Amino acid sequence: MAITELLRNVSIFRDLDTGELARVAEVCREQHYVSGEYIFREGEAGNRLYLIVEGEVRISREVPGSGEEALAVLKQGALFGEMAVFDRSERSTDAISNGGTKVITISRSDFELLLDFNRDIAYKVHWAVVRLLSHRLRSTNDSLKSFLAMSMF
């Protein structure tokens, strides 16, 4: 599958036209990870985002005294690592190849240059990020409501 087709299915790039997707594809790099290899570790600088082309990625964190706690297993087409790129923060979890993984990546510097020099892409991506964050916040709120409701009994 062409990189532009993979990008078209990612929420933050969904509003881009074919030419804009081609510009994004120009800054993508392919990387491969063997099973069990760390893609990034909690606490590292978040300097790139990732899109799974093949395989799976386990998102987890170390819990003192009990070891690794898997938070999610991401599959083909999933975008991850993007929040640390947007807010320039450290990684909040580990990302580990689960059975061998092929990803495409975009570095923070390439992503920022792309947005700086392509106003239409920047506008569309930023609004898509706002929608993504709003969706995640609503989901978190719903989860908290459910958790609080269950904890009262």
pLDDT of residue 35: 96
What is the domain partition of the chain in residue ranges? 3-151
Dihedral sign, CA of 118, 106, 52, 43?
A: negative
Residues 6+ apart with CB under 8 A from 140: none
Residues 6+ apart with CB under 8 A from 64: none
Task: Report how far residue 34's alpha carbon sits from residue 142's, in angstroms, rounded to the nearest whole number.
Answer: 36
pLDDT of residue 73: 95
Would residue 12 be called left, alpha or beta, if left means φ above 0 and alpha means ψ between -120 and 50 degrees?
alpha
Task: Report how far residue 25's alpha carbon sits from residue 8's, in angstroms, rounded to the nearest whole number.
Answer: 10
Query: pLDDT tens digits for the chain (153 residues)?
Result: 689 999 999 999 999 999 999 999 999 999 999 999 999 999 999 899 999 999 999 999 988 888 888 889 999 999 999 988 888 889 999 999 999 999 999 999 999 999 999 999 999 999 999 998 898 888 888 888 877 777 776
Would residue 131 be called left, alpha or beta, if left means φ above 0 and alpha means ψ between -120 and 50 degrees?
alpha
Residues making up the chain, counted from first to last: 153
Report the CATH fold assignment for 3-151: Jelly Rolls (2.60.120)
